[in-house]
Amino acid sequence: MSAPSPEGRTLDVGGVRVSARTSLLWWQAQGLQYTASGYGRRIPTSTMVEVDGRWRRVYCCCYGNAGTCYIDGPRDPATGERPWRIVTD
68 near 50, Cβ under 8 Å?
no
What's the rounded Cα separation, in Å, for the pair 20 and 18? 6
pLDDT for the residue numbered 6:
57
> pLDDT per residue over 41-79, tens digit each?
999 999 999 998 999 999 999 998 899 999 987 788 898
Q: Structure pTM?
A: 0.82
